[in-house]
Structure 1
Amino acid sequence: MRAQTATTADDAGRLKGRIRRRQEGAMLKAAEKVFARAGFQGATMAEIADLAGVPKATLHYYFGSKEELYRAVLDNILTLWLAETESITADADPATALTAYVRAKMRLSARRPDASRVFANEIVHGATHIGEYLRTELRKTVEARAAVIDQWAAEGRILPVDATHLFFTIWAATQTYADFESQVCAVIGKPRLSASDHERACAHVLTVVLRTCGLPCAGDHLRQVAPPPANTTH
């Protein structure tokens, strides 16, 4: 009987945990959307709660203040982004690792454009909420991954590059399709970027990154310049 009671309690606890995670996820998603559109100053807890479909009191129960919620959104974004750098390791194939990283960044820009916009807005306004994180955790991550890229270069596996600025280039090139989507759409004459547009952009960014590092790109064998025709005049 006690075992059955314990099992029932465990099941109830797991169900409660799933409900909590689902609610928290919905609130973070709604907050990401509102912060992307209105910025930190313009966003309100009432609007976020309404979009998440929860009472404002529930939102305050999970996140005590707007600043706490904003920091949680930024933490979630940075956790996702930094996890994608794990493909860059000393024993990895450079082309495979860089391709995986660029594709992951492009995928996040396509699927989570609001996340990129929230982050960009925070940086434009001086990184007042995450400045310390950037100076510590982000800096340590970039230094560690840059050291790997420097090692690849020292071993002759890629051309020498400024590894830190290579990361800046990748971030700028991939996140522009989220942060400046309206500009990109205006120039190419489309209301929204399609999956094929993102794939075309990804192929271009990969070409830039891989060629900068002296690595082969997909389709290079098709792009080889044909030799000049033989001179048949005598």
Structure 2
Amino acid sequence: MRDTLILHRRARAARRSQTRVGRSGGLLVCVAINASPVVRKTSCCPNAEIFVLLDSARAGRARRRIARIQESRPFVGKPSAERPSHRKPLPDHLPREDVLVDVDDMTCACCGGALHAIGESVSEMLDWIPTQLRVIRTTRPKYACRTCETVVQAPAPERPIAGGLATPALLAQVLVSKYCDHTPLYRQSQIFARNGVELPRSTLAGWVGGACWWLEALHERLAKNIFASHHLFCR
């Protein structure tokens, strides 16, 4: 439908550009559509005769244009193995998961002979693993002495925020989402709720404040290195 509309528009443009006045005051129009000459007379204007002359050379150019339009269409069928791909390859540092898609029968369906491997085709698709929350459960066994009844237990691991539930990885995720991805805390709270964990915005704000205490030493060290330089560039 689109190609037909394009050809009709080009034909109208050709008629407008090639129209000239004949001897009897009629209109002479030369249009290249077919290879055989045809004369057509219109009844809408009795004093005008429109001669549609079909030129074989111009018809050949029109056919070549149609072929180029058809070749430029996106290919919907089975992709050709010989056609080079201009797509940028996926990064090598991403982990790969191999999936083997093999034939069901190793017998030739044409002659019944045995099939043997001659090569393989490898294609890649980019996958996304959704964010997953997990609970790290720490168990500290208690031991007692039968003689003096002394109780021994390993000390609890230090948490980045005293009494907090967030691990360093979760704190880093909240900070990166807020300050790098510009995701407000209330939206992050909604994202956690979709994953089945209720974390109010006030809790996330407390985590951000506690993480800033740990980052203060890093900020002072970075500022010291920056101000020690002779030139400062602001972006």
TM-score (norm 2): 0.25
Higher relative helix content: 1
Higher relative strand content: 2
Tell me which of the two structures has the higher relative contact order, counting C-alpha pairs closer than 8 angstroms and 6 or more residues apart: 1
